[in-house]
């Protein structure tokens, strides 16, 4: 796609270069992100600018839609077939609504599984065995082409040394501070970086899945693409892995919900007529809303879906292809490597909710981490990557906004700046934190207060400041944007000194509310319009001085 896009951007292409070409664009996106469906919008505009004509208006799939991107895709596809039929009835001689014969609907799986003679695995007990485990993880993840991005081999194995509850025990929230140390190699990261963790799955759930699918957990397999084009992507001498390990390390069998196509493929393997009919209905556009009620709203897992349709026996090739991949979970690092050599800390809200049918669901990674005892010897595969918050130099004034667990990276920023201030003058930091109630979820309270007193890096004596918004402690809700407006003079002064703004937290409304508060301050203090103020902020963004790290 990158090569295609570079090709379309050639400067010698005229406005009539694609004259006579008809196209349709459907994008996959998530509206909780700032650049929602950015690629689809850009592609649509560029094709149009080059003279191509859209068959129908572009479709923008949204993963936040109750039915996922299919909620937009189904009506868009219907409109596409209808439009194509009216343009040229010969393309669809039986009309736009004709059903394709079922026998042609299901293709062959794109992968093949090769079974090997049993191999002996060494017992994992010493540090040298971790090298084997590292290669084992890499091998398993390399075998599922297209499912994983980035590095397959872990950067390090971590051992938990602290599991500390930050929120009040009976507050209805479970927010924890975790500390880890490296078991194998030294930890290398900067403040603002991200820790990716491969979560452990429930052994019972993995065993149940293997048993339900009539698989042999002890067999050794390699997974390869079937088509000759991609066959060269994988090494023919790839070392086999145990089937159970492959499931544990690559297939999310007991936390992620399957996509609609999973139900469509299941219908071809259902031997009970009533199950087949129900699966076909779920896979159809007409059954989309009922599928949403059954699947997405209840967050049914692959294992639960398979248990609900006992007559279905899907080949393992299809399962490997269609079961959601076991992805690493990303967490903003909440420590400074200068303050904690060979350690890394994260701040995690343990996810738990109740479905409409009163099932209790928990986040796979957060609940797994919360269950770990630092006294246990559990090795956690981990990767380090750059996030959206670059490490600032000590001379850069900072305006930090991090409500809730959004404060995590800024704990690292403050620790780092405190270390730097021991040897040289540092620029001021003002930090805006927000939570519901002072007594329930004032995360790292003592830490912030210590650094805001006695000439600490957050102290007013150093030109900084620490401001907290407790949203539920008074009748009128107070959020970080209200505290930002209260400090408008201080913020304007820091902005004119070249300060950088860092925003971290929920992608819901907070980033846009904070942006609006900055627009208002810049407009009022400089006497320009709100539009001019927004352009001012966009200039800050381009200069690398307005950063947002948000998640849904």
| CATH number for position 70 | 3.40.50.360
* CA gap 325, 253 in Å, rounded: 9
In a domain, 158, yes or no: no
| Long-range contacts from 229-238, C-beta under 8 angstroms, 24+ separation | 230/145, 233/145, 234/142, 234/143, 234/145, 238/139, 238/142, 238/143
In a domain, 204, yes or no: no
Strand ordering across the sheet containing 380-385: 329-332, 194-197, 380-385, 156-165, 175-182, 343-349
In a domain, 437, yes or no: yes
Q: Residues 183, 187, 190, CA angle at the centre, nearest 5°?
A: 160
φ/ψ of residue 374, rounded to 5: -55, -20
In a domain, 274, yes or no: no
Kindly report the CATH number assigned to the domain that includes residue 534.
3.40.50.80
In a domain, 190, yes or no: no
Secondary structure in 3-state letters for 34-68:
CCCCHHHHHHHHHHHHCCCEECCCCEEEECCCCCC
What is the distance between the terminal CA atoms of the chain, rounded to a whole angstrom? Answer: 26
* CA gap 460, 452 in Å, rounded: 7
In a domain, 156, yes or no: no
| Chain centroid, CA 342 distance in Å | 26
- The pLDDT tens digits along the chain (552 residues) read 889 999 999 999 999 999 999 999 999 998 877 788 999 999 999 999 999 999 999 999 998 887 788 889 989 988 998 898 888 888 777 777 665 545 455 678 888 999 998 766 655 544 457 888 888 888 888 887 666 556 788 999 999 999 999 999 988 899 999 999 998 777 899 999 999 999 999 999 999 999 999 999 999 999 988 865 544 444 445 788 999 999 999 999 999 999 999 999 999 999 999 999 999 999 988 898 899 999 988 999 999 999 999 999 999 999 999 999 999 999 999 999 999 999 999 999 999 999 988 989 999 999 999 999 999 989 999 999 998 999 999 999 999 999 999 999 999 999 999 999 999 999 999 999 999 999 999 999 999 999 999 889 999 999 999 999 999 999 999 999 999 999 999 999 999 999 999 999 987 789 999 999 999 999 999 999 999 999 999 999 999 999 999 887
In a domain, 480, yes or no: yes
> Which of 77, 98, 119 is a domain's end point?
98
Among residues 318, 327, 323, 2, the alpha carbon closest in space to that of 148 is found at: 327
| Residues 427, 396 contacting (CB under 8 angstroms) | yes
Ramachandran sector of residue 524 (left: φ over 0; alpha: ψ -120 to 50; beta: rest): alpha
Which residues neighbour 529 within 8 Å (Cβ) at sequence distance 6 or greater?
Answer: 523
Burial 57-75 (b: 16+ CB within 10 A, else e): ebbbbbeebebbbbbbbbe
Q: Are strands 380-385 and 194-197 parallel, antiparallel or unpaired?
A: antiparallel
Instruction: Report the domain count for the chain.
Output: 2
> Which of 78, 98, 118 is a domain's end point?
98
In a domain, 419, yes or no: yes
The domain of 464 spans 398-551
Collapsing DSSP to helix, strand or coil, 257 comes out as coil
φ/ψ of residue 549, rounded to 5: -120, 105
Among residues 504, 505, 506, 536, the alpha carbon closest in space to that of 518 is found at: 536
If 0-12 CB within 10 Å is exposed, 13-18 middle and 19+ buried, where does residue 165 land? middle
> Which of 81, 98, 115 is a domain's end point?
98
* CA gap 519, 420 in Å, rounded: 32
Q: What is the pLDDT of residue 98?
A: 60
Tell me the CA distances in angstroms from 9 to 35, 409, 552, one per residue in order: 20, 37, 33
């Amino acid at each position: 796609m990158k090569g295609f896009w570079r090709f379309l951007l050639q400067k010698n292409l005229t406005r009539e270069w694609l004259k006579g070409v008809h196209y349709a664009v459907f994008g996959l996106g998530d509206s909780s992100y700032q650049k929602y469906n950015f690629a689809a919008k850009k592609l649509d505009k560029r094709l149009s600018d080059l003279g191509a004509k859209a068959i129908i208006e572009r479709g923008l799939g949204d993963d936040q839609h109750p039915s996922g991107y299919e909620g937009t895709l189904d009506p868009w596809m219907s409109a596409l077939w209808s439009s194509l039929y009216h343009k040229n009835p010969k393309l669809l001689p039986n009309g736009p609504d004709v059903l394709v014969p079922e026998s042609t609907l299901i293709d062959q799986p794109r992968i093949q599984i090769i079974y090997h003679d049993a191999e002996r695995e060494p017992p994992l007990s010493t540090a040298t065995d971790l090298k084997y485990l590292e290669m084992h993880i890499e091998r398993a993840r390399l075998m599922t082409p297209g499912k994983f991005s980035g590095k397959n081999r872990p950067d390090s194995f971590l051992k938990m040394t602290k599991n500390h509850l930050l929120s009040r025990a009976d507050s209805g929230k479970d927010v924890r501070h975790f500390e880890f140390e490296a078991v194998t190699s030294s930890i290398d990261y900067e403040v603002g970086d991200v820790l990716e963790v491969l979560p452990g799955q429930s052994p019972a759930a993995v065993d149940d899945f293997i048993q339900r699918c009539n698989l042999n957990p002890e067999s050794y397999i390699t997974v390869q693409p079937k088509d000759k084009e991609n066959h060269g992507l994988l090494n023919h001498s790839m070392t086999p892995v145990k089937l159970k390990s492959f499931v544990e390390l690559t297939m999310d069998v007991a936390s992620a919900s399957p996509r609609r196509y999973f139900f469509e493929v299941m219908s071809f393997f259902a031997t009970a007529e009533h199950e087949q009919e129900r699966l076909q209905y779920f896979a159809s556009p007409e059954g989309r809303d009922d599928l949403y009620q059954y699947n997405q709203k209840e967050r049914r897992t692959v294992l639960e879906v398979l248990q609900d349709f006992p007559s279905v026996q899907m080949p393992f090739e299809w399962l490997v292809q269609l079961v959601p991949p076991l992805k690493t979970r990303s967490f903003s690092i909440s420590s400074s490597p200068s303050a904690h050599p060979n350690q890394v800390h994260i701040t995690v809200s343990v996810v738990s909710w109740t479905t409409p049918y009163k099932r209790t669901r928990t986040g796979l990674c957060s609940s797994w981490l919360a269950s770990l005892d630092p006294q246990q010897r559990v090795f956690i595969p981990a990767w380090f990557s750059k996030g959206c918050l670059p490490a600032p130099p000590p001379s850069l004034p900072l305006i930090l906004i991090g409500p809730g667990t959004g404060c995590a990276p800024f704990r690292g920023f403050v620790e780092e700046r405190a270390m730097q201030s021991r040897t040289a003058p540092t620029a001021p930091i003002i930090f805006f934190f927000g939570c519901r109630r002072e007594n329930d979820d004032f995360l790292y309270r003592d830490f912030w207060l210590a650094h805001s007193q006695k000439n600490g890096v957050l102290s007013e004596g150093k030109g900084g400041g620490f401001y907290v918004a407790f949203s539920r402690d008074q009748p009128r809700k107070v959020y970080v944007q209200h505290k930002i407006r209260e400090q408008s003079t201080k913020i304007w002064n820091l902005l004119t000194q070249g300060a950088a703004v860092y925003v971290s937290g929920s992608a819901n409304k907070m980033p846009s509310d904070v942006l609006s508060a900055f627009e208002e301050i810049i407009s009022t203090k400089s006497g320009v319009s709100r539009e001019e103020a927004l352009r001012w902020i966009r200039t800050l963004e381009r200069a690398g001085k307005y950063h947002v790290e948000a998640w849904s």
